[in-house]
Amino acid sequence: MDKKLMTIDLNSRILLEKAEKDGVETMYDRKIAMKSQCGFGLQGGCCRICGMGPCRITPKTPRGLCGADVHTIVGRNFARMCAGGTAAHSDHARDIAHTMALTSREGNYKIREEEKLIELAKDWGIETEGKDIYDIAHEAADVALMEFGKPYGTSIFLKNAPAKRQEIWKKLDIEPRAIDREIATVMHSTHIGCCADIDSLINLSLRTSMADGWQGSMIGTKFSDIMFGTPTPQQTEANLGVLEANQVNIILHGHEPSLSEMIVLATEDPELVALAKEMGAEGINISGMCCIGNEITMRHGIKIAGDFHQQELALVTGAVEAMIVDVQCIFPALSRVADCYHTKFITTSKKAKITGSIYMEFKEENAYQDALQIVREAVLNFKNRDKSRVLIPELKSSATVGYSVDAIIKQLDRVVNVEIDKQGTIKPLVDVIKSGTIRGVVGVVGCNNARVASNLAHTTIMKELIKNDILVITTGCGASAAAKFGLMKKSAAKKYAGKGLATVCELVDIPPVLHMGSCVDCSRILDVASAIANFVDMDISDLPLAGVAPEWMSEKAVAIGTYIVASGIDTYLGVMPPVGGSSRAVEILCGELEDQVGASFTVNENPEELAALIIADIEKKRVHFEKIY
């Protein structure tokens, strides 16, 4: 395997060469060394759920010791992936809700969007008249925290979905109750000797994933917007070329904005800036990686250093004083890479301590002080940089990011209605879809996966879609890929988009690929879909929409894909999930779900073919859409 063909990012290729010279091992080396992966694991046909196992299913041994067949084993594994993903997103949201409970006028965390909070509070039945905004915030935090463990009722957000969708959820019994309860139910049902029925296991997977999309992630996004600001269009740059040769480089990597917002503030502290100069640097340069990168670029235009597959390569530049991480998608390998350079690899969360890292706990109660200390550690490290070992690759691309639902509505309204309508609606977007100028909207989301070349499927599919007049909205590392490859430049419309989409982009001054945020911000996709469906009085599954995860890898991505399908949006995967061992699981996920929820999964590992399938299906949906709307 030629390492250089394992990524299409030219910066990554340069740094892979440097890594080899520096004697640093990366994911790409480990992938080559791993040669063939376990066939049982790939197919989902290995069970380790009890101590009698592991049981591997073969033609000669079609059942595990307890008698579980391959369908049960695959189904249980799949359900547990959904539970894992839901747990990760929702536990992130729980921390954000706790941060909301800490907001105060004098403290580190404040309410930036009072109107948004009041709107949400009213929606939740919280009395707002004549009340202090911080009292409202604390009550809202309590309500949100109850969503994790309330003994009765279902998610507080379901009522925002189209009525027809809600009926489907009720009928199928997939309305999520409390978030923690859904995760616990899956862990229980998949314990040895519990659920052994593939249909039920997938039904439980849907409900747990719904607790991710329509509960945890929604709390995460909405509360983050209220505390840190709803994203608005921002100019930024993306790829490792954003690192600066003469500045202290700090990379933030992970997921939770409560940490990153404070670090960003701390890098502006005059004393620390002065200290950086004392150390011989021109200043402090902060950039983000993975979803933290998405969060801070959406709100502040902070530069995107790179995506999931570039985390080790960032350190190989030899120019990073500190990599500060919190939770999720952090390679344990960073300890070893950091050891080869002067970089300080700083972990901050008790949930994600990593051997070999420097642990500096970040506590929301003491947020700013903690952040100052962490940044100081980075700044002091500048003097240890070995200039002879620095190589910052030149490539970077400009990008316009920050398209929250509000921002999209505002942008479209500005042109169509001339005067900005404060109560802006989704109507202009609906109109351009209805007229066929834009054929549909597709969310391209998710990770990088070493089973396919980094960034290839993302960029290929996005280009194909926009060429065919389909507006692309994107989150997660897909968004980083789009930014790196110039698809979020406004000029990309002229270069890559079809005539219809290009005209709309030019008219309303947006790029053809819209950055909607981090992975929890896939909840924004549910919001747009619901807004459109409610506006035209249809179900989400009637609309020309689709979701794609071309290079997905995490359990979180499995949960996202599953709740997107449960919401009535067809979802396309560029990497096969470990369910192939069960013909029944494939039949349900890629077929029968269509009858249940009006959407299903399609898998194809060839990006061109996958794009063609999506485009054809969008056109099919249009026929139906045009008929009834």
> Of residues 213-272, which lie at the interface with ligand XCC (CB under 6 A)?
none
Considering only residues 121, 291, 352, 597, which one is a binding residue for ligand XCC as defined by CB under 6 A?
291
> Of residues 318-337, which lie at the interface with ligand SF4 (CB under 6 A)?
none
Examine residue 402 and tell whether it contacts ligand XCC (CB under 6 A).
no
How far is it, in rounded angstroms, from Cα 182 to Cα 211? 7
Of residues 133 and 192, the one with the C-beta less far from ligand SF4 = 192
Instruction: Tell which phi-psi region holds residue 130, choosing left (phi > 0), alpha (psi between -120 and 50) or beta.
Output: left
Examine residue 276 and tell whether it contacts ligand XCC (CB under 6 A).
no
Nearest to 447 by CA among 294, 326, 554, 524: 554
Examine residue 194 and tell whether it contacts ligand SF4 (CB under 6 A).
no
Examine residue 556 and tell whether it contacts ligand XCC (CB under 6 A).
yes
Query: Which does residue 53 bind out of ligand XCC, ligand SF4, none, counting CB within 5 to 8 angstroms by kind?
Result: ligand SF4
Please identify which residue in the block is written with the tokens 């597709």.
442
Q: What is the dihedral of CA 172, 177, 180, 185, to 10 degrees?
A: -40
CB 545 within 8 A of CB 529: yes
Measuring CA to CA, how many Å separate 332 from each of 328, 329, 336, 461?
Answer: 11, 9, 8, 30
Considering only residues 53, 229, 436, 580, which one is a binding residue for ligand SF4 as defined by CB under 6 A?
53
Min separation Cβ 75 and ligand SF4, Å: 12
Examine residue 79 and tell whether it contacts ligand SF4 (CB under 6 A).
no
Of residues 325 and 615, the one with the C-beta less far from ligand XCC = 325
Considering only residues 446, 512, 561, 568, which one is a binding residue for ligand XCC as defined by CB under 6 A?
446
Query: Which does residue 66 bind out of ligand XCC, ligand SF4, none, counting CB within 5 to 8 angstroms by kind?
Result: ligand SF4
Measuring CA to CA, how many Å separate 627 from each of 394, 407, 529, 542, 620?
Answer: 51, 30, 19, 10, 11
CB 461 within 8 A of CB 611: yes
How far is it, in rounded angstroms, from Cα 403 to Cα 510? 9
Min separation Cβ 306 and ligand XCC, Å: 11
Handedness of CA 541, 152, 521, 477 (dihedral sign): negative
Q: Which stretch binds ligand SF4 (CB under 6 A): 16-24, 48-56, 214-222, 454-462?
A: 48-56
Nearest to 254 by CA among 323, 205, 321: 323
- Token pair, residue 31, equals 């992938």
Examine residue 447 and tell whether it contacts ligand XCC (CB under 6 A).
yes
Examine residue 477 and tell whether it contacts ligand XCC (CB under 6 A).
yes
CB 191 within 8 A of CB 620: no
Q: How many residues belong to the site for ligand XCC (CB under 6 A)?
A: 13
Considering only residues 16, 47, 126, 611, which one is a binding residue for ligand SF4 as defined by CB under 6 A?
47
> Of residues 298-317, which lie at the interface with ligand XCC (CB under 6 A)?
308
CB 374 within 8 A of CB 324: yes
Examine residue 578 and tell whether it contacts ligand SF4 (CB under 6 A).
no
Considering only residues 5, 34, 38, 52, which one is a binding residue for ligand SF4 as defined by CB under 6 A?
52
Of residues 50 and 265, the one with the C-beta less far from ligand SF4 = 50
Examine residue 284 and tell whether it contacts ligand SF4 (CB under 6 A).
no
Considering only residues 8, 11, 40, 64, which one is a binding residue for ligand SF4 as defined by CB under 6 A?
64
CB 327 within 8 A of CB 352: yes
CB 501 within 8 A of CB 493: yes
Q: Which helix (H) or strand (E) holds 440?
A: strand 440-444
Examine residue 476 and tell whether it contacts ligand XCC (CB under 6 A).
yes
How far is it, in rounded angstroms, from Cα 244 to Cα 157? 43
Examine residue 329 and tell whether it contacts ligand XCC (CB under 6 A).
yes
Q: Which stretch binds ligand SF4 (CB under 6 A): 41-49, 98-106, 308-316, 597-605?
A: 41-49
Angle between the 427-435 and 405-416 helix axes, to the nearest 10 degrees? 70
Of residues 446 and 500, the one with the C-beta less far from ligand XCC = 446
How far is it, in rounded angstroms, from Cα 166 to Cα 172? 10
Considering only residues 221, 474, 541, 554, which one is a binding residue for ligand XCC as defined by CB under 6 A?
554
- Token pair, residue 164, equals 């027809």
Residues that bind ligand XCC (CB under 6 A): 290-291, 308, 329, 446-447, 476-477, 518-519, 554, 556-557
Binding residues for ligand SF4 (CB under 6 A): 47-50, 52-55, 64-66, 68, 73, 192
